[in-house]
Structure 1
Amino acid sequence: MSTTRILTLSLAVALIVGCQSNDELNTAYDRTEAYAEGVPGGAVAETDELLASVTAIDTAKRSFTLKDDHGNSRTFQAPAEMHNFEQLKVGDRVRAVVALERIVYLRQPGEEATDGAAGVLATAPLGSKPGMLVADTVEITAVIKAMDSKLRTATLQLPDGSERTVNVRPDVVMKTEYLGREVVLRMTSAFAVSVVPQ
């Protein structure tokens, strides 16, 4: 992942989780799970959305304060990647959304591995209100090294050689033929921040 995307994702975490003193900002959180009954793996999607108003701006420090609709406020530092900072005005409404998706499935025999990472960074055009979109997808392959049917866990060996034990859903039959099979772990994260037109 590039330095630019790391810095921008850091801003995403700061906007959603909070970074400098004051109160925690109120966000709307949603989580959805999807899986086929009896089939190992599944998908989990999570979103966290923040809607707040700009109440103060320090152009010299490139900082701004947001206040949510519940009266909580927090001050943030705008990274260099946040273009058009000078267009931000007190009273602007800011919307930030972080979306995370995790997909896990058994790789079919003969299916080609596509391990790796890809990402995109898009910023607002010069002269417009600040905004950006960052998205990254990482896919890795793990191998099922052990299963414990009493505890309903499976031990996965990751590409770096480390192992992680995970829980297995109650509806999945723990077949010995799964030992040695490859498990695909695909994680996608996206962050979008924009100034909402008034």
Structure 2
Amino acid sequence: MPHSSHIPALLITLSLLGACSSHAENDGLDATTSTGEAYAQGVPGSVVTETEQVSAVVTAIDHQKRTFTLEDEKGNRQTFNAVPEMRNFPQLKIGDRVNAVVTHERVIQLRAPGEAHEDGAAGLVATAPEGDKPGMLAANTVEVTAVVKAIDTTQHTATLEFDDGTRKVVRVRPDIELKPSYLNQEVVIRMTSALAITVEAP
């Protein structure tokens, strides 16, 4: 279910908008967040998705300092520095609407026997063409692997050990039967974050 929350520039600072300073009376721009989880009954693993959206209007621009201020519908304001990588800053105008969407996806699954080990990270960034309104698309994926070192059928938990030797006890869904065969199996955790920003003229 969607709900509203304050996120201090999360959606924008993940882009090419750099550091920011907000008015003392505000926590940040208002964002709408929705979450969802998908899984198969009785099958280990799940997909959890969280989407955050913010929409705000440009109320002030300082071209010399390369800063601009956004205001959302609730009157929250935030001022941002446009870092050098932010293309087309001169095309940003007062009254433009900035829309940002961030999606986080976490996939957890048992690795199938013989499946390739692909721990690591990958990402991409694309910006608006020269002369257009500022905008961008960015995505990043990180994959890590852990090994099931212990299971507790009483507490219905599993102990995972990561490559660096750290261990974490995690709760297992009630519909999952904790089988001895799961011991020493690999668990893949894949996290993907994607950001899309568009700027629209009034």
Fold in common (TM above 0.5)? yes
Aligned counterparts of 2:160 and 2:12: Cα–Cα separation in 1: 29
**Comparing 61-70 and 45-54, the one that deviates more:** 61-70
Determine which of 147, 151, 155 is the counterpart of 2:151: 147
- Once the two structures are TM-superposed, the CA of residue 52 in structure 1 deviates from its matched residue by 0.6
Aligned counterparts of 1:129 and 1:162: Cα–Cα separation in 2: 46
Determine which of 145, 154, 157 is the counterpart of 2:161: 157
- Runs (4 or more) in structure 1 with deviation over 4 Å come to none
Determine which of 130, 138, 141 is the counterpart of 1:126: 130
- Once the two structures are TM-superposed, the CA of residue 60 in structure 1 deviates from its matched residue by 2.0
Aligned-residue identity in percent: 53
Q: In the alignment, is residue 186 of structure 1 matched against residue 187 of structure 2?
A: no
Alignment of 1:86-97 (within 5 A): 86-97=90-101
Corresponding position of 1:12 = 14
Aligned counterparts of 2:134 and 2:177: Cα–Cα separation in 1: 50
Alignment gaps of 5+ in structure 1: 1-7
Q: In the alignment, is residue 45 of structure 1 matched against residue 46 of structure 2?
A: no
Aligned counterparts of 1:20 and 1:179: Cα–Cα separation in 2: 49
Determine which of 114, 118, 123 is the counterpart of 1:114: 118
Aligned counterparts of 2:112 and 2:55: Cα–Cα separation in 1: 42
Aligned counterparts of 1:155 and 1:31: Cα–Cα separation in 2: 26
In the alignment of these two chains, the number of paired residues is 189
Corresponding position of 1:138 = 142
The residue type equivalent to 1:32 in the other structure is: G
Corresponding position of 1:4 = none
Secondary structure of the corresponding residue to residue 189 of structure 2: strand
The residue type equivalent to 1:170 in the other structure is: P
CA root-mean-square deviation: 2.1
**Comparing 139-148 and 86-95, the one that deviates more:** 139-148
The residue type equivalent to 1:11 in the other structure is: T
- Once the two structures are TM-superposed, the CA of residue 170 in structure 1 deviates from its matched residue by 0.7
Alignment gaps of 5+ in structure 2: 1-9
- Once the two structures are TM-superposed, the CA of residue 12 in structure 1 deviates from its matched residue by 2.3
Corresponding position of 2:80 = 76
Higher helix share: 1
Contact kept, 8 Å, 1:92 with 1:196, in 2: the verdict is: yes
